[in-house]
Amino acid sequence: MGIINLTPDSFSDGGRYFSLDQARARARQLVAEGADIIDLGGESTRPGSQEVSVQEELDRVIPVIEAISADLPIPISIDTSKPQVMREAVAAGAGLINDVMALRRPGALEAARDLSVPVCLMHMQGEPRSMQIQPNYQDPVAEVRAFLEGRVNTCVAAGIPHNRLLLDPGFGFGKNLAHNLSLLKNLRSIADIGLPLLVGISRKSMIGNILGDRPVEGRLFGSLASAVMALERGAVIVRVHDVAPTVDVIRVTSVVLAAE
Ligand code: 8Y7
């Protein structure tokens, strides 16, 4: 899953893909590099970020989805927590909902149920504005697992069947370095829930922290190492900024995992 951020404040590519032409070129590049899905977001969820209005988010994402979905050979994932953005994005051509709030916003469950596209449910403790201030767990792996199982049950009860759900432990979302490391090491426990597992670790601060406060531009190799470990533990989709190198990593890792 290759990332296109349509936000002026996203930390790792700083809104470089903001114009329609640039978004189109970036989408083509991600496809050429081997992406199977493009994740498109119009609201930054970085720690401390402020929310944007529904209209602002729609203005950012809908024209781009309309422009690129028609001739794109791969599905577009809409990264949003807002029900109205989910509805309009899918109407414009999006084929997957990526919700870091796991459909907890009022109206989101109903929107996802009506839209009949797959949904990624991600774990987050707290909310973006404050989630990194004091993340707190007794047992991060058990708590993330229990949260995701609870959301799956809520979704199924609301009429969203199992076969439309993906899960994500939400690296960096209300988690300190120890929490993130424990979740990656024990990721199999989340995969064992039995639904397809998506992970996003690319360029995140957990990589920067491990490498001695390495800035975002220097986090590629660390991100690739984390992708290998996630794949070994059952992840089936990795959400990344650097698609070409990640595709090599996936090919090599999956060939070895499939060997005798
Ligand atoms: C994730 C994500 C972000 C993630 C899923 C960033 C939108 C922060 N991270 N969605 N979104 N999983 N499913 O660093 O880990 O890219 S935004």
**Atom 17 in ligand 1: residue holding the nearest Cα:** 45
What pTM, to 2 d.p., does this model score? 0.96
Ligand 1 surroundings by CB, under 6 angstroms: 41, 45, 79, 98, 100, 120, 122, 168, 170-171, 198, 200, 204, 239
**Atom 7 in ligand 1: residue holding the nearest Cα:** 79
Residue 129 annotated in active site: no
Residues sharing a CB contact under 8 Å with residue 16, sequence separation 6 or more, in sequence order: 22
Residue 204 annotated in active site: yes
To test the pocket of ligand 1, the residue of 17, 120, 239 to mutate (highest count of ligand atoms within 8 Å of its CB) is 239
**Residue in 204, 214, 233, 251 annotated catalytic:** 204
The whole-angstrom separation of Cα 65 and Cα 24 is 9
Q: What is the CATH number of the domain that holds 202?
A: 3.20.20.20
Q: Report the Cα 251 to chain-centroid distance in Å.
A: 21
**Ligand 1 centre distance from Cα of residue 260 (Å):** 34
Which two three-digit tokens encode residue 246?
């990640």
Which two three-digit tokens encode residue 258?
């499939």
The whole-angstrom separation of Cα 5 and Cα 3 is 6
pLDDT truncated to tens, each residue of the chain (260 aa)?
A: 999 999 875 545 544 446 888 899 999 999 999 999 999 999 988 887 778 999 999 999 999 999 999 889 999 999 999 999 999 999 999 999 999 999 999 999 999 999 999 999 999 999 998 999 999 999 999 999 999 999 999 999 999 999 999 999 999 999 999 999 999 999 999 999 999 999 999 999 999 999 999 999 999 999 999 999 999 999 999 999 999 999 999 999 999 999 99
**Atom 15 in ligand 1: residue holding the nearest Cα:** 200
Residues sharing a CB contact under 8 Å with residue 249, sequence separation 6 or more, in sequence order: 224, 227, 228, 231
Which two three-digit tokens encode residue 148?
């995701």
What one-character-per-residue DSSP string does 2-36 give? EEEE--TT-TTTTTTT-SHHHHHHHHHHHHHHT-S
Tell me the Ramachandran region of residue 246: left when phi exceeds 0, alpha when psi lies from -120 to 50, beta otherwise.
alpha
Q: Which SS3 state, helix, strand or coil, does residue 84 take?
A: helix
The whole-angstrom separation of Cα 120 and Cα 168 is 7
Query: Which H helix or E strand runs over 40?
Result: strand 38-41
Domain count, the chain: 1
Q: Report the Cα 33 to chain-centroid distance in Å.
A: 19
Q: Which long-range CB contacts under 8 A does 56-61 form with residues at least 24 apart? A: 57/82, 57/85, 58/84, 58/85, 58/88, 60/6, 60/7, 61/6, 61/85, 61/89
Which structural domain range is residue 51 located in?
Answer: 2-258
The atom number, within ligand 1, closest to the CA of 46 reads: 8
Other C-beta atoms closer than 10 Å to the C-beta of 129 total: 13
Q: Which SS3 state, helix, strand or coil, does residue 77 take?
A: strand
pLDDT digits (tens, 9 = 90+) for 52-101: 999 999 999 999 999 999 889 999 999 999 999 999 999 999 999 999 99
Q: Which SS3 state, helix, strand or coil, does residue 121 take?
A: strand
**Atom 1 in ligand 1: residue holding the nearest Cα:** 200
- CB contact at 8 A, 36 and 1: yes
